[in-house]
Amino acid sequence: MIGLDRNEQIRLAALARAEELRRQWDDRVPAREIERGFDFGGHRVRFVGPGMGIFKPRQLTDGPITVRTQLASSYDDEPLEAGAGLRYDFAPPAREYDNDGLKRLCELGRPLIYLIQVAPRAQGSEYAILAPVFVTGWDDARRTFEISFRAARSLTLAQGDAIAERPARDRVEPAYRMVELRARLYQAHFRRLVLQAYRHRCTVCELRVRPLLDAAHIVPDRDGGDASVQNGLGLCVLHHRAFDRGLLRVRPDYTVDVAPTAVPRGDDFAARTLLEFHGRHIVLPRDRALWPSAEALHRIATA
């Protein structure tokens, strides 16, 4: 990595690791993976410190490596404002050096990593990783930073070998990337609410292995289904796929309907994982107000 100073090299290693985590975990990176940090020159560099906020590992001298936030309880709230980038509050006055660090990164045009907590600690703590992002400005009166995606224009990004192998997404318009980000956070929010309502188990088979659980839409997005819990089901990956392909249905009376043609004769495993549940009741959320909409179930049953 000729021509890059040590700060830039560490920053690139951080971005490469962030990309790896995203590829592996999608928008549900477990906190422990982030807390592990990454390796640089045989030393461990941290991504985060205790608590939320701005973090600079001791190996960096140009500024912080991450900013971290919690997904607003309502998707419509901050930090997503129409059109603009993400807004990020200044650190409190006692940590003015963190604010100075972000301002320096803005002036240098150097990238950092935005971590959004999409599942709270009580649910195992998961993050969506947005990287690279850039500090594009700040407002001393409101004490907020403006953070955005933008085309890679800094030397750091143009030269970085970690970036060279990145797909074309970095060349996509920042406005489009904001739309994409909204969609990602929207899904993460939906997933969190649904899995919480279903107490982190498949509503059909009660599997509780978290990496294998999804929040399924009853009426799909594209058909006008909304992202409310009532239009969702907590399903394992197997039953999610079966549901989406119409092999397994949930009737409006909350019983499971498995198409007999879905199971090849003599396939014992399919019999145990699919046919076994035919006619059974699904496991419903404790809160009746969160039960799946019978109307939505009826709508797809007759689709």
Q: Which residues form the interface with Zn ion (CB under 5 A)?
A: 202, 204-205, 207, 236, 239
Closer to Zn ion at the Cβ: 202 or 218? 202
Closer to Zn ion at the Cβ: 204 or 229? 204
Nearest position to Zn ion, beta carbon: 202
| Residue 45 near residue 14 (C-beta atoms within 8 A) | yes
Say what the alpha-carbon torsion angle 179, 185, 191, 196 is, to the nearest 10 degrees: -150
Closer to Zn ion at the Cβ: 127 or 198? 198
User: At 98, is the secondary structure helix, strand, or coil?
Assistant: helix
Q: How far is the CB of 268 from Zn ion (least distance, A)?
A: 17
Q: How far is the CB of 38 from Zn ion (least distance, A)?
A: 35
Rounded to whole angstroms, the Cα distance separating 298 from 117 reads 35
Supply the DSSP symbol for 31.
H
Q: How far is the CB of 208 from Zn ion (least distance, A)?
A: 10
Closer to Zn ion at the Cβ: 131 or 202? 202
Q: How far is the CB of 237 from Zn ion (least distance, A)?
A: 8
Say what the alpha-carbon torsion angle 111, 113, 95, 182 is, to the nearest 10 degrees: 110
Counting Cα atoms < 13 Å in the Cβ hemisphere of 123 gives 21
User: At 162, is the secondary structure helix, strand, or coil?
Assistant: helix
Q: How far is the CB of 206 from Zn ion (least distance, A)?
A: 7
Closer to Zn ion at the Cβ: 177 or 239? 239
Supply φ then ψ for residue 90, to 5 degrees. Answer: -55, 155
